[in-house]
């Protein structure tokens, strides 16, 4: 069964009409209140038992992910809400064609794409296989370190312990991080939908309250 699209939950706002054909200073235009936004409660958001991990594929969009998981493309907003994604363009991974175009646009040529972006540490272990320096820290190309090896009882110097990270590797890492998301498990859907149904409506007594699904902005033209 198809559920309501996100904006069906969003209440309305009477905005003072600025249309050229407006006949009265008390004319209003009804719009969706885009400032009215809910988020998952901390109790749910911080409890990983509510979620399952999902790896976004190259052609995935929020709507087809929602269809795969919930059998309902209208729950694309829940996919984004579960990961606190507000801007799809910047926070969702690009498809391969868009990603290639982005790299060329940003770096100018494939030659520049493969140039070094920065350097990162290699993993360094002592004689007891304990990690002395973890892999992946951004450092200067000539970074070195001195450490005491408790097994041999000697001081050691580690040189040549950086790896070059290309512009493409740097961007790939960002893309990959965006591709790993969490999705609400389907059996918890009723809990979330009930919570949103309760949170979205306006409460009586709130500023400019007209009804549970409508508030009205002040008409400043009445006071000038």
Which residues, listed in sequence order, are joined to residue 31 by a DSSP beta bridge? Answer: 13
Structure token digits, residue 41: 């409660």
Q: Where are the domains of the chain?
A: 1-36+200-224, 116-165
The residues, ordered by sequence, that sit 6+ positions from 94 with a Cβ below 8 Å of its Cβ are 102, 175
CB burial string 197-208: b at 16+ within 10 A, e below: eeebebeeeeee
If you write DSSP's letter for every residue of 138-178 in order, what string do you get? EE-TT--EEEEETTTTEEEEE-S-EEEEEHHHHHHHHHHHH
pLDDT mean for each 10 residues of the chain (224 residues): 62 66 65 64 74 92 95 91 91 94 97 98 93 96 93 91 98 96 91 72 68 60 45
Length of the chain equals: 224
Which residues, listed in sequence order, are joined to residue 131 by a DSSP beta bridge? Answer: 125
Which helix (H) or strand (E) element contains residue 134? none
Phi, psi of 10 (to 5 degrees): -75, 125
Distance CA 115, CA 107 (A): 9
Distance CA 22, CA 16 (A): 10
Sign of dihedral through CA atoms 217, 221, 222, 224? positive
Helix (H, G, I), strand (E, B) or coil at 223: helix
Q: Which pLDDT score, from 0 to 100, does residue 17 have?
A: 67
Contact predicate 199/38, CB 8 Å: yes
Q: Which pLDDT score, from 0 to 100, does residue 32 have?
A: 62
């Amino acid at each position: 069964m198809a559920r309501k699209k996100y904006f069906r939950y969003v209440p309305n706002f009477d905005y003072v009409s600025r249309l050229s054909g407006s006949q009265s200073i008390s004319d209003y235009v009804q719009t969706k209140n885009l400032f009215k936004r809910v988020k998952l409660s901390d109790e749910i958001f911080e409890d990983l038992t509510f979620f399952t991990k999902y790896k976004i594929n190259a052609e995935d969009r929020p709507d087809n992910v929602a269809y795969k998981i919930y059998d309902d493309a209208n729950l694309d907003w829940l996919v984004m809400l579960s990961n606190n994604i507000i801007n799809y363009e910047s926070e969702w991974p690009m498809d391969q064609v868009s990603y290639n175009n982005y790299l060329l646009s940003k770096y100018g040529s494939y030659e520049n794409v493969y140039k070094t972006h920065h350097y990162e540490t290699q993993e360094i272990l002592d004689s007891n296989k304990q990690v002395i320096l973890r892999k992946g820290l951004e450092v200067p190309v000539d970074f070195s370190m001195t450490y005491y090896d408790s097994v041999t009882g000697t001081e050691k110097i580690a040189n040549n312990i950086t790896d070059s990270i290309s512009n493409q590797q740097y961007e790939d890492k960002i893309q990959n991080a965006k591709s790993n998301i969490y999705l609400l498990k389907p059996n918890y859907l009723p809990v979330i939908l009930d919570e949103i149904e309760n949170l979205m409506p306006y409460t009586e007594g709130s500023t400019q309250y007209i009804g549970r699904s409508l508030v009205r902005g002040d008409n400043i033209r009445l006071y000038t």
